Amino acid sequence: MERNEKAFTPDPEYLLQVRNLKEYFPITTGFMQTTMLKAVDDVSFDIRRGETLGLVGESGCGKTTVGRTVLQLYKPTAGEIWFNGKKIDNRANLKEFRKKAQMVFQDPYSSLNPRMTVADIVAEPIDVHQLCKTKKEREERIHELMNLVGLNTEHATRYAHEFSGGQRQRIGIARALASRPEFIVCDEPVSALDVSIQAQVINMLEDLQTQFGLTYLFIAHDISVVKHISSRIAVMYLGHMMESASANELTKHPQHPYTISLMSAVPIPDPAVSRKQHRIVLKGDVPSPLKVPEGCPFRPRCERVTAACAKSCPAMREVAPGHFAACHNI
Amino acid sequence: MSLLEVKDLHTSFFTSAGEVKAVNGVSFSLDKGKVLGIVGESGSGKSVTAYSILQILTHPGKIVSGSIRFRDEELVGKSDTEMREIRGNKISIIFQDPMTSLNPTFTIGNQLKEAILLHTDRNKKQAEERAIEMLKLVGISEPEKRIHQYAYELSGGMRQRVMIAMALACEPDILIADEPTTALDVTIQAQILELILDLQKKMGMAVIMITHDMGVIAQICDEVIVMYAGSVCERGTADAIFYHPCHEYTKGLMRSIPDMNDDDKKRLIPITGTPIDLLHMPPGCPFAPRCDRAMKICLQEKAQEYWVGHDQLSACWQNVKDGICSTERPEEEEEEKEEKVKHGKK
């Protein structure tokens, strides 16, 4: 999946192709002193049409930044983003891309404007891109969208604070669907919700995907949820891509030492399995992203560390068919 | 005799909009050296139950009725001064967010020493030694240096370790952990859970683990209480609750969690509807409006707890209808034992 060619030609099989994406943020670290925080460092991936790519990792690993940079909410420091065979690098392309690519945010409380009614929130992409010519058409579209996500159309004139967390997330999803997108970045869409509501929203996202042929980039830290919804999963650590494979392959046969320990740390809701589970408890914390270790970023916490790990940062390579990992020792 | 015995506890918040019954008739007992899990969604009353035990409820909240007996001593009705002898000394608590529960203006050593000086006869120097010893115990490197640091200088996992050190400094009989790992990453969560279990075994204390994560419950708990809208749906041993759930809510909860071992990605079966509004509680079972198998009686009257197994109680009318429950505690059957082993193998 990951190739490193100089002249890149897009593959029509893929909806989105990201090459060597970098996103650095300047951080003031002292008087007249700035350090570059490498939130995303040389990340490449592809997403097939109608597929869901799950992106997992611990907090601070750069998964949200990847999602936001792909949507050009941050200007990439370096790297290329190809969407539908077109490189997103000029204003005309960007405007079309913004219509076709949308986002669902993690926190349904802060991502909805408290001063706007549900109808106005949902219709914002319609208004921005001038998708409806008449008021009647706009209203019909709002009602259609609210029905799609299972909201009562009578509630269109209410404000966001009158809804529960699950319903708010539905409003957020309706807004994302308003411009008839092909691609949606779901940034932790269910992690703020209760378990019983999570399943409702996950099922709805799956239904919408089949109905409209949507492609998702699904960012989450809950591995069992990501496994359920994704066809492929990519694992990130400190701004670097560590491993990517099909969802079943990655959860069953992880290759990278970081993924192995991550999988073993996931609590399984089954006492008998849980008691027998062999846990690899990682020592220490994730290093500060301002001081990413040289060589492999996982080196200080890795059990299998060798001299080669300090010398160079391993590149992603195919370790099994369709299974990529960035480790010197596999 | 149990270490802690809670009987028919009712805690309400008297808000301007009306009485919110956050805890509505909760009973359970906790034995020495056991790990009890309280699981439920937000608003189910699991945290308020814990706060009631320590009587650290915030203003409009009050214990309305019920009894909380600790070592055969009634805690309900005790004055604040009397409770202070128990809090942090006999029963300790660690909170979800270690950043907001540590004071940012004092060093962590200062905060650790506070509890030690308050509850033991140690002098300042001995208290500092004890603080260093506790930090070492919870796996913090260079504790001599750390006690002079402030909370902001530590990572999330480290802060939670400091909170645990603080809670255990006086060797309490009960440690209440209120969602201690929810704000942490899975790899750090694994560290903290292992630490709590390890210390629990070393010090022989009992732990009340409050969480919404069934995975965490399965990993560390001996006994489980499932709560919904302030009421106990079901309680029993972890094996009984996971392999033989008898309340419709527990069953629904289990069905709605994605299975890590399911490679075909079967569609999830969610619990329909939205969480209950605690201001407008229905007269019957609180789960009835969302229950697929609700009967007429479920909407009218709340079911009491019936025994559905040797070590499992469930409050669901469905069990009464199916005739699989009784008011008497049944003897442990041989079949049941075998079944447990079988399930264990699965």
List pLDDT tens digits, range B68-92: 999 999 999 999 999 998 998 899 9
B262 contacts A228? CB cut-off 8 A: yes
Residues contacting residue A30 through CB under 8 Å, at least 6 positions apart: none
Q: Which amino acid is at A173?
A: I
Q: Is B237:A272 a contact under the CB 8 Å cutoff?
A: no
Q: Is A217:A47 a contact under the CB 8 Å cutoff?
A: yes
Other CB atoms within 10 A of residue A259 CB: 26
More confident residue, A1 or A104: A104
Backbone angles phi, psi at A117, to 5 degrees: -75, 165
Other CB atoms within 10 A of residue B264 CB: 7
pLDDT tens-digit readout, B300-331: 999 999 999 989 999 999 999 888 888 888 88
Between A and B, how many CB-CB pairs are < 8 A? 131
Q: Is A37:A25 a contact under the CB 8 Å cutoff?
A: yes
Q: Is B109:B147 a contact under the CB 8 Å cutoff?
A: yes
More confident residue, B248 or A283: B248
A281 contacts B194? CB cut-off 8 A: yes
Mean pLDDT of chain A: 90
A200 contacts B157? CB cut-off 8 A: no
pLDDT at A120: 95
B344 contacts A198? CB cut-off 8 A: no
Per-residue tokens: A154: 């009578």
Average pLDDT over residues B229-241: 94
In angstroms, the CA B227 to CA B237 distance is: 15
Q: Which amino acid is at A270?
A: D
pLDDT at A1: 47
| Chosen from A164, A167, A191, A196 to mutate, greatest number of chain B CBs within 10 A | A196
Torsion of CA A223, A226, A231, A236, to 10 degrees: -60
* Contact list, B265 vs chain A (CB under 8 Å): 228-229
Min distance A264 CA to chain B CA atoms (Å): 9
* Contact list, A63 vs chain B (CB under 8 Å): none
pLDDT at A116: 94
A298, B13, B21, B59, B294 from B279: Cα distances, Å? 50, 10, 8, 17, 21
Give residue B260's pLDDT band: very low, low, confident or very high (50, 70, 90): confident
Mean pLDDT of chain B: 89
* Cβ-count burial B183-204 (b if 16+ within 10 Å, e if not): bbbbbbbbbbbbbbeebbeeee
In angstroms, the CA B88 to CA B107 distance is: 19
* Contact list, B239 vs chain A (CB under 8 Å): 271-272
Share of chain B above pLDDT 90, in %: 60
Average pLDDT over residues A298-321: 91
Q: Answer whether residue A306 shows pLDDT above 60.
A: yes
* Contact list, A206 vs chain B (CB under 8 Å): 267
Least confident range from B99-113, B259-273, B328-342: namely B328-342
Average pLDDT over residues B331-336: 65
pLDDT at B341: 56
Three-class secondary structure assignment of chain A: CCCCCCCCCCCCCEEEEEEEEEEEEEEEEECCEEEEEEEEEEEEEEEECCCEEEEECCCCCCHHHHHHHHCCCCCCCEEEEEECCEECCCHHHHHHHHHHEEEECCCCCCCCCCCCEHHHHHHHHHHHCCCCCCHHHHHHHHHHHHHHCCCCHHHHHCEHHHCCHHHHHHHHHHHHHCCCCCEEEEECCCCCCCHHHHHHHHHHHHHHHHHHCCEEEEECCCHHHHHHHCCEEEEEECCEEEEEEEHHHHHHCCCCHHHHHHHHHCCCCCHHHHHHCCCCCCCCCCCCHHHCCCCCCCHHHCCCCCHHHHHCCCCCEEEECCEEECCCCC
pLDDT at B93: 93
Question: Is the CB of B219 inside 8 Å of chain A's CB atoms?
Answer: yes
pLDDT tens-digit readout, A243-271: 999 999 999 999 999 999 999 988 888 98
Looking up tokens 């001995």 gives B126
pLDDT at B185: 85
Q: Answer whether residue B337 shows pLDDT above 70.
A: no
Question: Is the CB of B186 inside 8 Å of chain A's CB atoms?
Answer: yes
Q: What is the CA radius of gyration of chain B?
A: 21
pLDDT at B342: 54
B residues 82-141 near A, CB within 8 Å? none
Question: Is the CB of A204 inside 8 Å of chain B's CB atoms?
Answer: no
* Contact list, A194 vs chain B (CB under 8 Å): 41-42, 212, 275
Nearest residue in chain B measured CA to CA from A230: B265
Average pLDDT over residues A85-112: 90
Q: Is A243:A250 a contact under the CB 8 Å cutoff?
A: yes
* Contact list, B212 vs chain A (CB under 8 Å): 194-195
Give residue B335's pLDDT band: very low, low, confident or very high (50, 70, 90): low
pLDDT at A275: 83
pLDDT at B346: 42
* Contact list, B152 vs chain A (CB under 8 Å): none
B270 contacts A196? CB cut-off 8 A: yes
**In this complex, which of A164, A203, A248 lies closest to B275 when CB atoms are compared?**
A164
Torsion of CA B52, B231, B41, B50, to 10 degrees: 10
Domain spans, chain A: 14-325
* Contact list, B268 vs chain A (CB under 8 Å): 199, 202-203, 228
Per-residue tokens: A212: 């409209």
pLDDT at B265: 81
Fold of A14-325: Rossmann fold (3.40.50)
Q: Answer whether residue A119 shows pLDDT above 90.
A: yes
* Cβ-count burial A155-190 (b if 16+ within 10 Å, e if not): bbebbbeebebbbbbbbbbbbbbbbebbbbbbbbbb
Q: Answer whether residue B125 shows pLDDT above 80.
A: yes
pLDDT at B345: 44
Average pLDDT over residues A202-227: 94
Q: Answer whether residue B292 shows pLDDT above 80.
A: yes
Share of chain B above pLDDT 70, in %: 96
In angstroms, the CA A101 to CA A183 distance is: 5
Q: What is the CA radius of gyration of chain A?
A: 21
∠ Cα A205 A202 A184 (to 5°): 35
Average pLDDT over residues B131-149: 90
Three-class secondary structure assignment of chain B: CCCEEEEEEEEEEEECCEEEEEEEEEEEEECCCCEEEEECCCCCCHHHHHHHHHCCCCCCEEEEEEEEEECCEECCCCCHHHHHHHECCCEEEECCCHHHHCCCCCEHHHHHHHHHHHHCCCCHHHHHHHHHHHHHHCCCCCHHHHCCCEHHHCCHHHHHHHHHHHHHCCCCCEEEEECCCCCCCHHHHHHHHHHHHHHHHHHCCEEEEEECCHHHHHHHCCEEEEEECCEEEEEEEHHHHHHCCCCHHHHHHHHCCCCCCCCCCCCCCCCCCCCCCCCCCCCCCCCHHHCCCCCHHHHHCCCCCEEEECCEEECCHHHHHHCCCECCCCCCCHHHHHHHHHHHHC
Q: Is A193:B250 a contact under the CB 8 Å cutoff?
A: no
pLDDT at B184: 83
B189 contacts A272? CB cut-off 8 A: no
